[in-house]
Amino acid sequence: MRLSGTLDLGALKGLSGLRTVSFMDNEFAGPFPDVKELSGLRAIFLSGNKFSGVIPADAFAGMGSLRKVVLSENNFSGPIPASLADVPRLLELQLNDNKFQGKIPDLKQKELKEVNLANNELEGEIPASLKSIKPDMFAGNKKLCGAPLGAKCDAPPPPPSPAPAPKAPLPTTSDKAGGTSPSTPAGDAATSSTKQEPPASDPIESATASYGFLAAILGTAAIIAVALVALRIKRRDSTKNFGPAASTRPSSAAKVEPHPSPAATTAAAAVASAAGDERSSRAGGNTAAARKVDQGRLTFVRDDRGRFFELQDLLKATAEVLGAANLGVCYRATLTSGHSVVVKRFKEMNRVGREDFEEHMRRLGRLSHPNLLPLVAYYYRKEEKLLIHDYVPNRSLANLLHDLGEGRGLKKAVVHWSARLKIVKGVARALSYLYDELCMLTVPHGHLKSSNILLDGHYEPLLTDYALVPVMNQSHAAQLMVAFKSPERKQFGRSSKKSDVWCLGLLILEILAGRPATYELPKAGSAEPASDLVAAVGSTPEAEWVDTVVDPDLRCEEDEDREEMVKLIRIGMACCESNVDSRWELKTAIDKIEELTAKERGNEEQSFYSSVNDEEDSKDAAAAAIN
């Protein structure tokens, strides 16, 4: 929006239900706004503005519900507010690209996993509580040192030598009156009498030093022993983690190897491992280890579906691996009732706590659109999560366009213009719906590509793997999710509301060209522009687009259809504009897409032709892999 001026949140004090404040990527300036009065806030997003000055030390005092603080890419200076160390439930802290100075507070929150303090002016030793954070999160602070950076901190100057301690009293001597007189202090004795031994040779002091040295050795040994015991307990507890790799008991559903390949792993084994942990925790409820087990539960999120199976039903289900990719593994589970569901098992979703995760899942459960594959249920454990969807027998759009049959006798499907346009319109409408319903997210989809678009019985597109960015580990999302490959992400280090638009543009070109899209931007001086759809289209005269760019299998017998194809290519290129300011807004793109037409056909389903062998049932046609 590019809003400017100073930010006063006083008008929001009366909103007791306010949980998130987000003014990212604007031009607000001035001091940090007073947020203490909004004590119920869970997230503050103010990155990408022009705020400046010192943030008061007590700026976050009393904010017991706060989970996320994102203040990156501003001009804040001074020390990091000490009150951040007292926010008990802090999960994410992004302060990078500012001018913070001084030492890093000791942030001891157990759930704090995402910390970015790069490109500031911090100094001193990184606290031990942050030793597991990646070194990149501290880059650009020349005076920082400590474990994550591998830079040793300079030893502090030795303290001044203390005055010699007095020796133990010597035997007293009697005076003439039969009394006693105190012995002379060691220091005085050393200077007043040449017959007295020097301090280093005093037997009492030597014995004390020997005992002190022995105590230090014994203390170190005790610490090592305690650490070994703790490590052994941790390893023992880790065998109770969710998933087949952690299972210590045989499963009737499948044999689970210590490190199984995705193709050998089944949904039944995964769920059986979790259920086995629950049973063992109930059986051993009196033990400390059992009390620590993170018991998961199966939760349904749709009011219109009801609870039509239980965890035990999944244990009894026959299961097959549909695919394994970067985000996790996908299974088809067929219940004893005959109903099939898709179980997606994610590995990199431990960035948020249970409460935030479940809140986001409920939000996804409320979404309803004919071109979105609805979330049915989820299973939560700290280290791994299961998301459960309806099973869709038809294959993904990627399989349809690129013949990803993997040698199973499948040939490339031929799709007419009218069918491809219907897919484009369905995808655009679903994306528009996500932007309206999840307007608080910078990238409401985040992973829009052809392999994440399934096709229902009428070949209507169904978007999957949408709106997962808030629950994904940030580093993992940045490496694997396609919205994070956008030009602005690589140019400025952050995504924008137009990152999903960029993905839509590439998808449009892929649908028309019948060639896989390339999400990695070409390197400077690269001699392989042909692998980049945008470059290929841009280097071809518009008059030659239909004959050169468009998929040869695309049947375009009518001149009207050819003209509409050219219009859609123009829309795709406008959505792929590398300059984010010049790139179309989503609404503009959708309005233009809705204006496109195609000649009606007598039987729309005949737009699709596929030579799937008759003997191959829906098992081979299923394609709901996570990518």
Which CATH number belongs to the domain containing residue 581 in this structure? 1.10.510.10
pLDDT value at residue 568: 96
Q: Are 342 and 331 in contact (CB under 8 A)?
A: yes
pLDDT value at residue 529: 40
Cα–Cα dist 550/80, whole Å: 55
Q: What are phi and psi of 331, to 5 degrees?
A: -125, 155
Considering the domain architecture, whether residues 437 and 571 belong to the same structural domain is answered as yes
- Residue 563's nearest CA partner among 594, 513, 597, 590 is 597
Sorted by sequence, the CB contacts under 8 Å of residue 45 that are 6+ apart come out as 20, 21, 22, 23, 24, 68, 70
Q: Which of 10-24, 318-332, 370-384, 436-450 has the lowest mean pLDDT?
A: 318-332
Angle at 385 between CA 346 and CA 627, to 5 degrees: 20
Average pLDDT for 555-569 = 85
pLDDT value at residue 225: 53
pLDDT value at residue 575: 96
- Residue 451's nearest CA partner among 325, 627, 263 is 627
Domain's final residue, options 106, 131, 149: 149
Give the domain range for residue 112.
4-149
pLDDT value at residue 111: 84
Q: Are 33 and 10 in contact (CB under 8 A)?
A: no
Considering the domain architecture, whether residues 332 and 437 belong to the same structural domain is answered as no
Considering the domain architecture, whether residues 358 and 259 belong to the same structural domain is answered as yes
| Domain CATH number, residue 136 | 3.80.10.10
Average pLDDT for 357-371 = 93
Cα–Cα dist 17/39, whole Å: 10
Angle at 78 between CA 77 and CA 80, to 5 degrees: 100
For the chain, how many structural domains are there in total? Answer: 3
Crossing angle of helices 586-594/559-575, nearest 10°?
180
Q: Which of 130-134, 281-285, 325-329, 343-347 has the lowest mean pLDDT?
A: 281-285
How many percent of the chain have pLDDT more than 70? Answer: 68
Q: What are phi and psi of 145, to 5 degrees?
A: -150, 170
For residue range 593-605, list pLDDT tens digits in order: 999 998 766 554 4
Considering the domain architecture, whether residues 136 and 51 belong to the same structural domain is answered as yes
**Does some domain include residue 11?**
yes
- Residue 99's nearest CA partner among 130, 125, 78, 129 is 78
Considering the domain architecture, whether residues 455 and 594 belong to the same structural domain is answered as yes
- Residue 1's nearest CA partner among 591, 592, 497, 502 is 497
Q: What is the largest CA-CA distance in the chain?
A: 133
Considering the domain architecture, whether residues 386 and 406 belong to the same structural domain is answered as no
For residue range 29-42, list pLDDT tens digits in order: 999 999 988 888 99
Q: Are 62 and 86 in contact (CB under 8 A)?
A: no
**Does some domain include residue 115?**
yes
**Does some domain include residue 29?**
yes
Helix or strand run (H / E) with residue 377:
strand 375-380
Considering the domain architecture, whether residues 115 and 261 belong to the same structural domain is answered as no
Q: What are phi and psi of 476, to 5 degrees?
A: -70, -45
Q: Which of 30-34, 289-293, 482-486, 569-573 has the lowest mean pLDDT?
A: 289-293
pLDDT value at residue 311: 81
Whether 276 shows a pLDDT value over 70: the answer reads: no
Considering the domain architecture, whether residues 539 and 496 belong to the same structural domain is answered as yes
Sorted by sequence, the CB contacts under 8 Å of residue 354 that are 6+ apart come out as 380, 382
Average pLDDT for 88-99 = 92
Dump the DSSP string for 238-260: HTTSSSGGG--S--SS----SS-
319-329 per-residue burial string, b: 16 or more CB within 10 A, e: under 16: bebbbbeebbb
Establish how many alpha carbons lie within 13 A of residue 347's alpha carbon, considering only the half-sphere containing its beta carbon.
16
Sorted by sequence, the CB contacts under 8 Å of residue 319 that are 6+ apart come out as 253, 254, 266, 267, 268, 269, 331, 332, 333, 334, 343
Considering the domain architecture, whether residues 241 and 287 belong to the same structural domain is answered as yes
pLDDT value at residue 408: 39
Considering the domain architecture, whether residues 618 and 506 belong to the same structural domain is answered as yes
**Does some domain include residue 418?**
yes
- The type of residue at 621 is A
| Domain CATH number, residue 256 | 3.30.200.20
Cα–Cα dist 475/472, whole Å: 9
- Residue 448's nearest CA partner among 404, 505, 405, 401 is 505
pLDDT value at residue 360: 93
* Tokens representing residue 278 in the block: 């629950």
**Does some domain include residue 266?**
yes
pLDDT value at residue 308: 86
pLDDT interval class at 295 (50, 70, 90): low
Q: Are 552 and 515 in contact (CB under 8 A)?
A: no
**Does some domain include residue 537?**
yes
How many percent of the chain have pLDDT more than 90? Answer: 35
Whether 501 shows a pLDDT value over 60: the answer reads: yes
Q: Does 200 or 161 have the greater pLDDT score?
A: 161
* Tokens representing residue 504 in the block: 């839509």
Residue with tokens 């020390």: 79
User: What mean pLDDT, rounded, does the chain reach?
Assistant: 75
Considering the domain architecture, whether residues 331 and 444 belong to the same structural domain is answered as no
For residue range 117-151, list pLDDT tens digits in order: 999 999 999 998 898 888 888 988 988 998 788 77
For residue range 513-551, list pLDDT tens digits in order: 988 888 775 555 444 443 488 999 999 999 999 989 998
Cα–Cα dist 565/557, whole Å: 12
pLDDT value at residue 131: 83
**Does some domain include residue 161?**
no
Domain's final residue, options 391, 425, 456: 391
SS3 content of the chain, % helix, strand, coil (to 5): 35, 15, 50
**Does some domain include residue 525?**
yes
Q: For residue 489, count other CB atoms closer than 10 A to its CB.
A: 19
DSSP code for 320: E
For residue 456, how far is the Cα from the chain centroid? 30
